[in-house]
Amino acid sequence: MGRVSRGLGIPRSSGGRLQAGRTGLEEQATGGRLEGPARKPPTKRQLDAIYAALLEVYGHQQWWPTASEDPEEQRFEICLGAILTQNTSWRGAASALANLRAAGLLDAASILETPLDVLGELVRPSGHFNVKARKLHAFCETVVFDGAGSVDTLLEGEPDEVRERLLAIWGIGPETADAMTLYAARKSTFVVDAYAYRIFERLGCPPGARKYDVYREFFLGRLGPDVTVLNEWHALLVRHGQQTCTKSRPRCEGCPLLRRCAFGRAEVQRG
């Protein structure tokens, strides 16, 4: 993965602070005015059309942004970034990563040797900094002791094997494990976040209940194992959710998905 511009789409966790927002399910549940289409999962054809529309407007997102030049250091940096961006914006995570870099701490052994209070101060811009410092220690402990110091050892194997290994580390949940598996290990998985829930519920074609595994399994099954496609899908959904299909006051009038979206048409009518 090459070095990319910070101006491109950026990772963001769906954690506690980022909620899906109003999606139209509320109106339907209470018999309200939104006349949405039958809510059934998107077909492959619909998914392809949504992907093409988003790609045309936003272009390739070139995730995951890293500042490192060395490929293994890039993978390690992606893993750290996936932890640091939990429950916060990428801006805070990037600032914390820059502090770690400036302190010469972009390797697992060095992070592990750093006292938690010192590490906490360095990652303060990412929020929840004491917990994040503990999570970084837990991750680096696994790299050092189970991976003989190499993040690549930790990321070796079949996608599900890698994901399970990561999920076993304290502080790493499904979204973080999938981000590491897809963007650091470059293995097939789908990263689910609140943007995916919001966009597909608003489009009237949620894959099912708003549950992580329901969405992940659906998209993996429908999209197939191509890592480049899976990478771009998640990145485009984040970009669309941040830029256009925002939590409140989505910019429906200029949205490339408007003609497919009953929620958006209702928003436009409402003015």
Q: What is the contact surface with ligand SF4 in residues (CB under 6 A)? A: 199, 202-203, 244-245, 250-252, 255, 257-258, 261, 263-264, 267
- Distance in Å, CB of 6 to ligand SF4, minimum: 24
The four Cα atoms 216, 220, 223, 228 give a dihedral, to 10 degrees, of 90
- Distance in Å, CB of 26 to ligand SF4, minimum: 14
Those residues whose C-beta lies under 8 Å from the C-beta of residue 169, and which sit 6 or more positions away, are 138, 139, 142
- Nearer Cβ to ligand SF4 (57/138): 57
- Nearer Cβ to ligand SF4 (45/259): 259
- Distance in Å, CB of 54 to ligand SF4, minimum: 10
- Nearer Cβ to ligand SF4 (129/263): 263
- Distance in Å, CB of 202 to ligand SF4, minimum: 4
- Distance in Å, CB of 43 to ligand SF4, minimum: 17
Measured CA distances, 53 to 36, 40, 231, 240 (Å): 21, 20, 16, 11
- Nearer Cβ to ligand SF4 (94/255): 255
- Nearer Cβ to ligand SF4 (10/255): 255
Measured CA distances, 183 to 38, 113, 241 (Å): 34, 26, 19
218 in Cβ contact with 53 (< 8 Å): no
- Distance in Å, CB of 13 to ligand SF4, minimum: 20
- Nearer Cβ to ligand SF4 (190/263): 263
**Which residue has the CB atom at the shortest distance from ligand SF4?**
264
Q: Pull the structure tokens for residue 194.
A: 């609140």
